[in-house]
Amino acid sequence: MTDPIPTPDVAPPDVVRAAYMELIVSDLAASRRFYVDVLDLVVTEEDDEVIYLRSLEEFIHHNLVLRKGPVPAVAAFAYRVRSAEDLDRAVAFYSELGCRVERNTDGFTKGVGDSVRVEDPLGFPYEFFYEVEHVERLAWNYEKHTPGAIVRIDHFNQVTPDVPRAISYMEDLGFRVTEDIEDGDGTVYAAWMRRKPTVHDAAMTGGDGPRMHHVAFATHEKHNILAICDKMGALRISDMIERGPGRHGVSNAFYLYLRDPDGHRVEIYTQDYWTGDPDNPLVTWDVHDNQRRDWWGNPVVPSWYTDASLVLDLDGNPQPLVTRTDSSEMAVTIGADGFSYTREGDTERGFKLGEQL
């Protein structure tokens, strides 16, 4: 790690969970078709410029904000904190880090009150809020549930060049690493970090950044995820299915990756495991283990490695990218210079990968 981010003297805000993402989309109607008509997220409120969406078991105003704008990007990764006082802590924490900090007592989005937005040390627009409007939790409203019922927001996945540097900062913010991907030389390719007691609220994926890799929503069961695929086939938009469905090695969750009309990546995710014990064991995966990303060994499509969304600064301009200098996971695992094994020690490559390249 070069250029480590110093640990502030002040305490970080007490983050409860990843709560919502604000996305800039180029065509609000097209995005509405995807998130509302295809994914069946619930509209809390909407107008010509912005749509506020939530999942079926949510009781706060929104888990996703779609805002019309010129450049598809992420305007905010928003975390709920435990109390109003945690906003003061967020201001102090990021101020000490020398970050740009803005506080808006009326909130940056509808439904949310006093909030702090920062350009964090990695270049991401992080938001912290406590005050929020309560809306109807539709958990029992099964008459509104669809086969692919999305019940919660689960996590954010962020692309950043130096994963250990990001981990160190996130640990200062109170996050704890649950799993990571490394190689034998100490290069860290990705790490999963949590506040709520699941595998993550935020993952850091090594690559040119700051960029947003994906935002993830949860269903109750695996068949819900399969139903989303079936519906997208029926709607003849199967080309918006990028990867999966499959079982992750990391997190042990069942997953699906979609791309929205602007290319923003959305994961549908279910059934990771309890990580809330203070001594929850860290799980480290070898980057060459072909089951780390997909437990069934199905190949990761290159776009999943290369594509990600821009993020905005607090003026609404895209953040410039910093290039990753460590090895890329794609390069070391597939192609001429990389390799992946099904069984540690195998020297032959599996037929699935072999025949595709």
Q: Confirm or reject binding of residue 100 to its own copies (CB under 8 A).
A: no
In 3D space, the residue among 165, 193, 164, 188 whose CA is nearest the CA of residue 177 turns out to be: 193
**Window 55-74: residues binding its own copies (CB under 8 A):** 57, 59-60
| CA Rg value for the chain | 20
Q: Token pair of 268, please?
A: 């549908």
Sole window of 114-122, 147-155, 180-188, 204-212 interacting with its own copies (rule: CB under 8 A): 147-155
Per-residue buried b or exposed e for 251-261, using 16+ beta carbons within 10 Å of the residue's own CB = bebbbbbbbbb
Single residue of 109, 178, 290, 333 touching its own copies by CB under 8 A: 290
When the beta carbons of 8 and 245 are compared against its own copies, the nearer one is: 245
Q: What is the nearest approach in angstroms of its own copies to the Cβ of residue 191?
A: 19
**45 scored as a contact of its own copies (CB under 8 A):** no
CB of 323 to its own copies, least distance (A): 21
Q: Are 25 and 262 in contact (CB under 8 A)?
A: yes
Site for its own copies (CB under 8 A): which residue of 278, 323, 337, 347?
278
Q: Are strands 176-182 and 150-160 parallel, antiparallel or unpaired?
A: unpaired
Q: Which one, 67 or 248, has the nearer CB to its own copies?
A: 248
Contact residues for 179 (Cβ-Cβ < 8 A; gap 6+)? 191, 192, 199, 250, 251, 282, 283, 284, 285
Q: What is the nearest approach in angstroms of its own copies to the Cβ of residue 285?
A: 11
Site string (180-219) toward its own copies, x via CB under 8 A: ----------------xx----------------------
Three-state secondary structure call for residue 218: strand
Q: Which of 6, 134, 317, 335 binds its own copies (CB under 8 A)?
A: 134
